[in-house]
Chain A
Amino acid sequence: MSIVKMQKVAVIGLDEQKESIMGKLMDFGACELVDQKNKLADEEMRSLVILDDGHDRAAALDAKLNRAESALRFLEKYDLSREPLFKTRRLMKSDTVKKIDRESAEESIKSVLALEERLRETNDRINKLEQDEILIAPWLGYATPLEMIKTPKAIIHEGIVPIAVDVTELINELEEFGGIVVKRINSDKDFNYIAFICLISQEDEIMALLKQKGFSEVYFKGLKGTAAENSERIRGEKEALEAQIKDIEREASSMATLRHSIENYCDVIAIESDKEKIKSKLLKTKKTFCLEGWIPERLVGKASALLDSMNCFYQFAQPEEGDEVPVLLDNKNFFVPFEAITEMYSLPDYRGFDPTSIFALFYAVFFGMMLSDAGYGIIMAVGCLLALKKFKLEGTTYKMIKLFFYCGISTVFWGAMFGGWFGDFIQVFARTILGKEVTVAPLWFNPLDDPMKLLIFSLALGVIHLFIGMGIKAYMQIKEGNWFDALCDEGFWYFTIIGLIALLGGSSVSPVLPGIGKWLAIIGAAGLLLTGGRHNKGIGKITGGLSNIYNITSYLSDILSYARLLALGLATGVIAQVVNTMGSLFGGGIAGLIILVVVFIFGHALNIAINALGAFIHASRLQYVEFFGKFYEDGGEPFEPFRKKTKYIKIEQEEE
């Protein structure tokens, strides 16, 4: 339940052993290397060392990687086998990884990319044909060949005139020239398509007239024969090309079996590239190199053994003030999935506090109360359990699925407490189909019967949640020795809030409570008023106290925010009831049963989707805004050790 303690390590090794040391370090996989560029700002250092650089080799490797990735993308598109719901990494022994055949993978990549290129070319040709097809479509009724026809005396032109121009009039005008034959070939909603043959001697005059009328010439570049012939030819060619595309796609699908070997190759290359890239964090002299990094404290022994075996000089040190120490969360089994929620917000500062294990239970409870239907909970829990069993999930995906599994169980619990099993489905089913009245008694009570009870329960949970958040802040202040701040910032608020609650609601428990509450609240408020401005000067000492008291509104709104536990819980229940009522509107019998089942499946699926999303978001929000707001110091950089970062295979390390 905490943040892993880190130690700083500085290592000097022999340059000739660099590759093997870096390889071992990568296998070790728990050391984050630190950038040392700023050391070179020092004149003396600069005369001794230079920055190691694997940039060029890394770039060459990345180029290979890019080719491989784009081949993979292409294959994925035409892979006919079904993609799994979750992508998981294949387990592979490190011996097998060493034996991965790069040359054959490179061959396959080459052939895949060649195929992709062929597909692109074919598509380009089809595009060209389609453009031609559009061009000649209006001219299908035109019997003259499309290539420019010119005799010593006469010439043929084709072109378009806007529909706004009166074409009969235009033809009459043109025919006044004498040696001209004009024909309207076609027309659509924008243009008239005309062709004419005229004497070359009159061509310029005719063109000048036509230009005034908005005529523009149509060119049939490279097309020979009549439009109809061309259309025929294009159709034939297109069919052939489309058949080719089918063939290419079929070939691509058959190549899908290459995916695994290309994926393996990708990972091998990525590891090598990382190994080169990390060199930009090393400093070197002629014969030695030096690195600096962070190692979790519990692994220091193992790291020392490793470095001893490689004849390195090394030194461990505790982090100093001002060091940016990377953050790694360390929680026990049940709490691990909830780290996903903390990580989503932002990691805590290295010197801060990891609240994961503290809010975990609250998170599950809040989620359960907001979804609050045992039937939905069962679906969620069983679905997540199946996913966990079937897939070897890792990282955030694993955490999220496990988180939803716990939340599902919590939902079953609260659903049973409030009597929601797919809303009132059991009752409705018994009434409309079986014709019987059954009651499903909630273990605790039905929120629709007594919403005030649940509202108070929700707010009470909220107060506890907030008080724990304030408690963490106080704990952190006391740890730093500021017990007075802890009393002023949190202690007096405890007094005030508990006092106010006892004053306003205590009478229903015991008649003496309001009296005690009154004095508690007065002590608390006085304390707040007197100490609120303690860091200010002059008049600020008074206004600080007043504004501190005014903060009661923010506490009030924080507490009231937990009313959403009730509201969203009711919303789920009521929508479920609406679904059931709609399903039962058609009465009993076979038809009624079928409709009930169909409405049941669609309605409840929709309700789960909406409300599970809502419960997830609002459970997170209550942590982030209300809870974290009281104490959380974020801004930690995640711990990113130098290790074999692979996408497709998971390398099993043999113990040596």
Chain B
Amino acid sequence: MNMIDGNTLALIGAAIAALAGIGSAMGVGIAGQAASAVLAEDPKKFGKTLILQALPGTQGIYGLIIAFLIMQKIGLLGGAMLDLTMAQGAYFLAAGIPIGLVGIWSGIAQGKAAAAALQLTSKRPDQMVKGIIYTAMVETYAIFALLVSVLIWLRIAV
């Protein structure tokens, strides 16, 4: 039974990292609904609402970064894949998990915060930046997860 080798584990790691996109998709979706409601009252706020809607999108990008870094290091993008040991594969899997998991929930939570910030913007447009800061507070934890993922990835010797 050699179904699962190091390369498989590494690819699963990349796949998990990309799952952060779930959080971003849901977050951007939640924020988008709120943005439409704001726009219905004042179409001039499109630019402002777009910025707030985009904020929960970063988790997906962070996930993409890690997935891309893993694929690059194992040679998936350059043609021939390396032969990884089980241990190396497991390291890559470990690298994918932090941003993948944290990204999902932080993206959703950030989407909710962004939706509230959008309501704030509709009532008090001058206070928008503070809404952005509130929303960005959530992102801190996605950034930390990204950091952990990157640090693990950097230490893997292939």
Contacts and interface: CB of A to CB of B under 8 A. Distances in A.
Contacts of A625: 137
Interface stretch (B12-20, B34-42, B58-66): B58-66
B146 A581 contact: no
B93 to A, nearest CB: 20
B69 interface: yes
A563 B54 CA distance: 23
Given A344-B129, A617-B132, A621-B133, A571 B144 contact: no
B120 interface: no
A610 B61 contact: yes
A564 interface: yes
Contact of A578 (B54, B65, B130, B137): B65
A614 B132 contact: no
B-side interface size class: 20 to 34
Given A561-B140, A567-B144, A617-B132, A574 B65 contact: yes
Contacts of B58: 610, 614
A581 B68 CA distance: 10
Considering residues B57, B72, B140, B146, which has the most beta carbons from chain A within 10 angstroms of its beta carbon?
B140
Nearest to B128: A344
Nearest to B72: A581
Interface string A561-580: 10110111011001100100
A618 B147 contact: no
A618 B136 contact: yes
Given A448-B154, A610-B58, A571 B146 contact: yes
B61 to A, nearest CB: 7
A620 interface: yes
Nearest to B78: A581
Contact of B133 (A561, A568, A575, A617): A617
B136 A621 contact: yes
A620 to B, nearest CB: 6
Interface in B130-150: 130, 132-133, 136-137, 139-140, 143-144, 146-147, 150
Considering residues A560, A567, A617, A618, which has the most beta carbons from chain B within 10 angstroms of its beta carbon?
A567
A143 interface: no
B61 A624 contact: no
B136 A567 contact: no
Considering residues A564, A574, A618, which has the most beta carbons from chain B within 10 angstroms of its beta carbon?
A574
* Nearest 6 A/B pairs, CB to CB: A567-B147, A617-B136, A567-B143, A574-B65, A564-B143, A344-B129
21 contacts: A344-B130, A451-B150, A451-B154, A564-B140, A564-B143, A564-B144, A564-B147, A566-B147, A567-B143, A567-B146, A567-B150, A570-B146, A570-B147, A570-B150, A574-B69, A575-B61, A581-B77, A618-B136, A620-B133, A621-B137, A625-B137
Given A575-B61, A610-B57, 8 more contacts: A451-B151, A561-B140, A564-B140, A614-B139, A617-B132, A618-B136, A620-B129, A621-B133
Interface of A: 344, 448, 451, 560-561, 563-564, 566-568, 570-571, 574-575, 578, 581, 610, 613-614, 617-618, 620-621, 624-625
